Chain A
Amino acid sequence: MQTVLSIAVDALAYGMVLFIISIGLSVTMGLMRVINLAHGAFAMIGGYFASYAARDLGLGYGVGVLAAIVGTVIIAIPVERFLYRRIYGQPELTQVLMTIGITFCVIGIANFAFGPTLKTIPLPQMLQGSVDLGFRTIATHRLFSIVCGLVVAGALWFLIERTAFGTRLRATVDNAAMAASLGVRTQVVYAVSFAVAIGLAALGGVLGAELLPVEPYYALRYMVTFLVVVSVGGAGSIPGALIACLLLGAIDTTGRYFAPEYGEFFFYLAVIVIVTLFPRGLAGRFR
Chain B
Amino acid sequence: MKRFVLAVAVAALAAGVAHADTIKVGVVGPFSGPFALQGKNFKAGIDAFFALNGKKVGDHDIEVVYRDVPTANPAQSKSLAQELIVREKVQYLAGFYFTPDAMAATPLLQQGNVPMVVMNAATSAIVTSSPYVVRTSFTTWQTASPIAKVAKDAGVAKAITLVSDYGPGVDAETAFKTAFEKEGGSVVESIRMPLSTNDFAPMMQRVKDSGAQALFVFLPSGPPTLAFVKAYNENGLKAAGIKFLATGDLTQESDLPALGEAGLGLTTTFHYAVSHDSPENKAFVAAAEKAIGNPAELSFPAVGAFDGMYVISKMIEATNGKQDAKNAVEAVKGLSWTSPRGPVSIDPDSRHITQNIYLREVAKDAGGKYYNKEIQTFEKQGDPGLAALKK
Interface positions, chain A 105-137, Cβ under 8 Å from B, are 111, 115-120, 122, 130, 136-137
Asked if A6 lies at the interface with its beta carbon under 8 angstroms from chain B, I say: yes
Asked if A278 lies at the interface with its beta carbon under 8 angstroms from chain B, I say: no
CB<8 Å pairs between A and B, sample of 15: A3-B205, A7-B202, A10-B202, A116-B36, A118-B222, A130-B234, A211-B199, A213-B226, A222-B198, A253-B201, A256-B194, A260-B197, A263-B194, A263-B195, A264-B194
Asked if A226 lies at the interface with its beta carbon under 8 angstroms from chain B, I say: no
Residue of A nearest to B35 (CB): A116
- B236's partner among A116, A130, A221 (CB-CB below 8 A) is A130
Do B230 and A210 touch across chains, with their CB atoms under 8 A apart? yes
- Do A257 and B205 contact each other (CB < 8 Å), given the known contacts A120-B226, A130-B234? yes
A residues neighboring B (CB under 8 Å): 3, 6-7, 10, 13-14, 17, 111, 115-120, 122, 130, 136-139, 142, 210-213, 215-218, 221-222, 252-254, 256-257, 260-261, 263-264
Which residues from A are CB-within-8-Å of B294?
A: 115
- Contact mask B246-269 → A, CB, 8 Å, 1/0? 000000001101101000000000
Do B258 and A117 touch across chains, with their CB atoms under 8 A apart? yes
- Do A211 and B198 contact each other (CB < 8 Å), given the known contacts A118-B226, A256-B193, A260-B192? yes
Q: In the bound complex, what is the Cα–Cα distance between A264 and B193 (angstroms)?
A: 10
Q: In the bound complex, what is the Cα–Cα distance between A215 and B226 (angstroms)?
A: 12
Q: In the bound complex, what is the Cα–Cα distance between A17 and B231 (angstroms)?
A: 15
**Closest approach, in angstroms, between the C-beta of B204 and any C-beta of chain A?**
9
B interface majority secondary structure? helix
Which residues from B are CB-within-8-Å of A14?
A: 199, 201
Which residues from A are CB-within-8-Å of B279?
A: none
**Closest approach, in angstroms, between the C-beta of B302 and any C-beta of chain A?**
15
- A10's partner among B199, B239, B296 (CB-CB below 8 A) is B199
Do A263 and B165 touch across chains, with their CB atoms under 8 A apart? yes
Asked if B317 lies at the interface with its beta carbon under 8 angstroms from chain A, I say: no
Identify which of A136, A138, A253, A256 gathers the most chain B CB atoms within 10 Å of its CB.
A256
Which residues from B are CB-within-8-Å of A10?
A: 199, 201-202, 205
**Closest approach, in angstroms, between the C-beta of A19 and any C-beta of chain B?**
14
Do A256 and B203 touch across chains, with their CB atoms under 8 A apart? yes
Asked if B327 lies at the interface with its beta carbon under 8 angstroms from chain A, I say: no
- A117's partner among B191, B194, B255 (CB-CB below 8 A) is B255
- Do A221 and B201 contact each other (CB < 8 Å), given the known contacts A260-B194, A261-B192? no
Do A118 and B255 touch across chains, with their CB atoms under 8 A apart? yes
- Do A257 and B202 contact each other (CB < 8 Å), given the known contacts A119-B258, A212-B223? yes
Asked if B235 lies at the interface with its beta carbon under 8 angstroms from chain A, I say: yes
